[in-house]
Structure 1
């Protein structure tokens, strides 16, 4: 996948921002404190977190395979979708969001599938993940309602906000209507503009992907896999929490809040959620009584274990893809020689 000069500049800017956020967060954290935390941590539970995360990647690859087979109508090996997925995650560590295109490119090489068709399934997959994230956020709000109220109260007075909303409700409604009129005018006036066309293309791909859900051969398995993926995300966090003495006593609902904040941090358009993940996880852990340094150290342990896993599996994925492609090329030659 080739990037234009403009895209490389965007990548460079996002990387600089990520490094700056990370440096700003950890400039006061002593290396001795991090090493001491690692010595006190249970390597067994950290290993279990990594192990179950690999199972999660496998489950995600299998779910993607179901989407592809339903949309394209062609069988895909689970191993092929798994290595494509890991290569995609590896690329995301360098270029945010480019991994989605990269994994489609891998399956084009290994299974000769159209990238445009595969992108539709990836977009749908991301939309489904977003819906599950919203559902998890609602669940976290229900089980940790007091924490949400406390955070909101620290940021803004709820009573003042309620009075302001009541006073300015007519103005807000008028603003929403005006924005809707402006957006409609922009859509009609600039319908041939590149950004508008990209958005329209995105929506077409999304609705096309939604139709492919009806064609999934095992719909119950698909939704069960989607649910299990998020359960695995929770267990990844929970096992690391158990491994570290300062978080070993956190309740499952508190770990759920940490998972929500970490997931939001990973959405940010920076390489691998560097900085944003650490900031949000450390922030929410401080709400549960941990010191700022403890929260930052735990965030870096969680993030680093997953980044190392992606680096190893992604590098192995590049090797496996090259091997699969080479074997596919050699087969016709062997048949011709016979």
Structure 2
């Protein structure tokens, strides 16, 4: 089976799962109910959420640019990185996680920077985001600890979890050690072959990308923007919550909890978190007295505002990247 066919099957299966989850969630909601909710939504607050979201994407591009240009002798434009980033987000809607490599490729076509290093900066950036997400979870637990414990009690059986760890933890360690040993022996046996040399070169570039976090000059700006990005995420959701009558009574700490659950839903390996984001948001809103129907409508509006923004900016990025490619061919 060819690589393209396998990739096509993966995309199709992932999309079908997302569509099924979305259909299952919204199959019982009347169209007129959704239209009524949209008519009663405050467009000014909704527009504000979209605009501040675009600012968040720009700040993400600036932060990534700081990592990219560390150790390079050429200046890197935030604008070029921004369009590469939006291209990556657009690709993520088609193939989950493919956007990370796609945006690296887009930058590589503009600047002579190794793909390995670019991918290392992306992994570093994602790891930092994961740390901040855990900090947001801790903050939400601080303000909404009772809800956290209630959800944990509903979803997790502590005795079953303890039994699982006792039974399978040692086996997991053995399998992990065996995998590491197998990789080591393979590299030892084929260390003089060309593909091993390419892998080593990529890994060196990858590590150089990870090391940029220690080498970059704008340390304060980088970390300040990292905090600001998550503050923007909060206001994107808070303003939409205020824009919709059914959720306008939610407190700031409640919205923070919804943001955390929605972020967890976006991590699922389906296109754009379709279905999983909606399910997680609607589920947590039940704990705040929001009906399942209204919770799903809120999740739909939040998600659609982000996806439409990504599709619009991603579409523009495709045009810009295509024009740059034509320009390079002419030269």
TM-score by length of 1: 0.87
Question: 1:187 aligned to 2:180?
Answer: yes
Question: 1:143 aligned to 2:130?
Answer: no
User: How many Å apart are 1:142 and its aligned residue?
Assistant: 1.0
- Name the structure 1 match of 2:193: none
- Name the structure 2 match of 1:24: 24
Aligned residues: 321
- Name the structure 2 match of 1:176: 169
Question: How far, CA to CA, are the matches of 1:92 and 1:3 in structure 2?
Answer: 18
Give the direction of change, closer, same or farther, for the CA distance of 1:251–1:327 in structure 2 (3 Å limit).
same
User: How many Å apart are 1:277 and its aligned residue?
Assistant: 0.5
Give the direction of change, closer, same or farther, for the CA distance of 1:72–1:154 in structure 2 (3 Å limit).
same
User: How many Å apart are 1:236 and its aligned residue?
Assistant: 0.4
Cα pair 1:71 1:209 within 8 Å, conserved: no
- Name the structure 1 match of 2:271: 271
Question: How far, CA to CA, are the matches of 2:172 and 2:203 in structure 1?
Answer: 20
Query: Superposed, which structure 2 residues align to 1:181-220 within 5 Å?
Result: 181-191=174-184, 207-220=207-220
- Name the structure 2 match of 1:115: 115
For residues 227-276 of structure 1, give each alpha carbon's deviation from its aligned partner in whole angstroms, at most 9, with x where no partner exists. 11111111100010010011111011110011111111111111111000
For the aligned residue pairs, the C-alpha RMSD in angstroms reads 2.7
- Name the structure 2 match of 1:74: 74
Residue 4 of structure 1 aligns to a residue in which SS? helix
- Name the structure 2 match of 1:227: 227
User: How many Å apart are 1:329 and its aligned residue?
Assistant: 5.6
- Name the structure 2 match of 1:336: none
For residues 9-52 of structure 1, give each alpha carbon's deviation from its aligned partner in whole angstroms, at most 9, with x where no partner exists. 11110000000000000000111000000111100000000000
Give the direction of change, closer, same or farther, for the CA distance of 1:237–1:265 in structure 2 (3 Å limit).
same
- What are the ranges of 5 or more consecutive residues in structure 2 without an aligned counterpart? 188-195
Residue 215 of structure 2 aligns to a residue in which SS? coil
Question: How far, CA to CA, are the matches of 2:299 and 2:182 in structure 1?
Answer: 47
For residues 282-334 of structure 1, give each alpha carbon's deviation from its aligned partner in whole angstroms, at most 9, with x where no partner exists. 1011111011100000000000011110111111111222334445566x5xx
Residue 211 of structure 2 aligns to a residue in which SS? helix
For residues 145-181 of structure 1, give each alpha carbon's deviation from its aligned partner in whole angstroms, at most 9, with x where no partner exists. 0111121233356xxx37985xx6xx94575344323
Residue 129 of structure 2 aligns to a residue in which SS? helix
Question: How far, CA to CA, are the matches of 1:40 and 1:202 in structure 2?
Answer: 53
Question: How far, CA to CA, are the matches of 1:139 and 1:202 in structure 2?
Answer: 38
Residue 120 of structure 1 aligns to a residue in which SS? helix
Cα pair 1:110 1:321 within 8 Å, conserved: no
Give the direction of change, closer, same or farther, for the CA distance of 1:200–1:116 in structure 2 (3 Å limit).
closer
Question: 1:106 aligned to 2:106?
Answer: yes
- Name the structure 2 match of 1:261: 261
- Name the structure 2 match of 1:87: 87
TM-score by length of 2: 0.89
Residue 18 of structure 1 aligns to a residue in which SS? helix
Quick check: 312-321 or 276-285, which moved more?
312-321
Give the direction of change, closer, same or farther, for the CA distance of 1:296–1:200 in structure 2 (3 Å limit).
farther
Give the direction of change, closer, same or farther, for the CA distance of 1:319–1:275 in structure 2 (3 Å limit).
same
Residue 249 of structure 2 aligns to a residue in which SS? coil
- Name the structure 1 match of 2:48: 48
- Name the structure 2 match of 1:244: 244
Cα pair 1:72 1:117 within 8 Å, conserved: no
- Name the structure 1 match of 2:192: none
Query: Superposed, which structure 2 residues align to 1:1-20 within 5 Å?
Result: 4-20=4-20
Question: How far, CA to CA, are the matches of 2:31 and 2:225 in structure 1?
Answer: 40
Question: How far, CA to CA, are the matches of 2:205 and 2:159 in structure 1?
Answer: 40
